Amino acid sequence: MTVGGIDYTLLNTQEGLDEFFQKNQDVGWMGFDTEFIGEKRYHTLLCLIQISTEHGYYLLDPLAVKDLKPFLLLLESPDIVKVTHAGDNDYRLLYRSHGIVPQNVFDTQVAAAFIGHRYPISFAKLVEAETGNSVGKGYAVTDWSQRPMSEKQLKYALYDVVYLRELYDTITAKLEKNGRLDWALEECALMTEEDYFYRDPHHELLNSNIAKSSRTKEKVFLLRLYEWRRSLAEQRNYSKEMILPKKIIGQLVRGVRGGTESMKQNRRLPGKTVQRYGDLFVEMYTEPATDQEMEVVQQIQRNIQDDEEDDMIVELLYLLMKYRASEADISHALVMPRNAIRRMKQEAAVRRSILGSGWRRELLGDDFVEWLKHFDELKLSIEGGKIALKFD
């Protein structure tokens, strides 16, 4: 088949996918991308997998082919380099739906950050910058579940993998020249570890500003509310927003303590929601907390305003990190996002994740690493016109 001047093979039968596997199981590299629909659903619907290898281009239809094992085996093969752009989303989807952890990965978005590109950079901008070619952007949001797909959809989908090999070659050559290939591969290799895809089941609660400023009883209610919302969304395969909009959760926390009648009087709470679930919400609020629930809510740090010195230390560390990243011509957003700096003070896990990466330690230097290790003890001083960070 041909579309937009690109020859491709459509894999829409189990026999076709098996033949693809037999032909490509010994290739040295494979580029791929996915198209999916996540809106208004709890379980993301995988609609299309675009693939490129030395043998050509392929479009795999997972709506028609139910057993994707032959393709998944290639992802798990340590002998095949998997080339993606922003592939963490694709790998995360496949991990959740099939439990696979990829091996031997190279992500062009991640690698590009080590040769001076901004992070994150779009695929279209990277292709234009590194190859001089233009990639269409018009079908990023479309109904990928429709069959048959339009010619424009097919062309857009194929362009997502047509340039992956060329990007791999050009970026790798530049990484070898600037001595950053090992660093880029180390960062890409994070996607080959199962821990990379782990998400705390209570992440909504633990990252909720409402919870951080609430009393213990409200925290327990929020824990139960988030779990109820997630469970019902999963059961009905609706988005969590369709079950309970995030924007009214704060109003619920404030209103539930007054009972059902209080919630009915709150003009910011939808009447249908209160009528349907009001008694359940009150029950969630009044039921005594279990030991397991208390263990979870005790993890929440209260949202206490940093004092001025702490704030200055955070800003100074961030500027130093940006300076060292700039010196190395590496995107500072990949090295350490600003929110990570701000979370370091309260979350030891964030500090460990930063200190645990070899290339970051090498880039930032021993002094910076020691500052992070002793973050709680850091003191800012100005002596003889020089700014100094010290710890006991």
Instruction: Quote the mean pLDDT of the chain.
Output: 91
Residue 14 has pLDDT above 80, yes or no: yes
Domain containing residue 123: CATH number:
3.30.420.10
Return the sign of the alpha-carbon dihedral for residues 77, 78, 84, 88. positive
Residue 338 has pLDDT above 60, yes or no: yes
Indicate if 105 and 223 belong to the same structural domain: no
Indicate if 35 and 155 belong to the same structural domain: yes
Residue 378 lies in a domain: yes
Indicate if 166 and 231 belong to the same structural domain: no
pLDDT attached to residue 305: 47
Q: Which residues pair with 50 in a beta bridge?
A: 33, 59
Which pLDDT tens digit goes with each residue over 84-121? 999 999 999 999 999 999 999 999 999 999 999 999 99
Residue 35 lies in a domain: yes
For the segment 192-201, the average pLDDT, to the nearest whole number, is 92
pLDDT attached to residue 347: 59
Contact 125, 100 (CB under 8 A): no
pLDDT band at 327; cut points 50, 70, 90: very high
pLDDT attached to residue 387: 82
Which pLDDT tens digit goes with each residue over 26-77? 999 999 999 999 999 999 999 999 999 999 999 999 999 999 999 999 999 9
Which pLDDT tens digit goes with each residue over 122-170? 999 999 999 999 987 655 678 999 999 999 999 999 999 999 999 999 9
pLDDT attached to residue 302: 53
pLDDT band at 351; cut points 50, 70, 90: low
Q: How many other C-beta atoms are found inside a 10 Å radius of the C-beta of residue 60?
A: 23
Would you call 27 exposed, middle or buried from its count of C-beta atoms within 10 A (0-12, 13-18, 19+)? middle
Q: Which two tokens stand for residue 329?
A: 């011509």
pLDDT attached to residue 392: 66
- Domain with 368 in it: 308-390
Indicate if 184 and 208 belong to the same structural domain: no
Residue 302 lies in a domain: no
Global confidence as pTM: 0.90
Contact 111, 171 (CB under 8 A): yes
Indicate if 288 and 240 belong to the same structural domain: yes
Residue 372 has pLDDT above 90, yes or no: no
Count the domains in the chain.
Answer: 3
Indicate if 213 and 185 belong to the same structural domain: no
For the segment 239-266, the average pLDDT, to the nearest whole number, is 95
Indicate if 154 and 12 belong to the same structural domain: yes
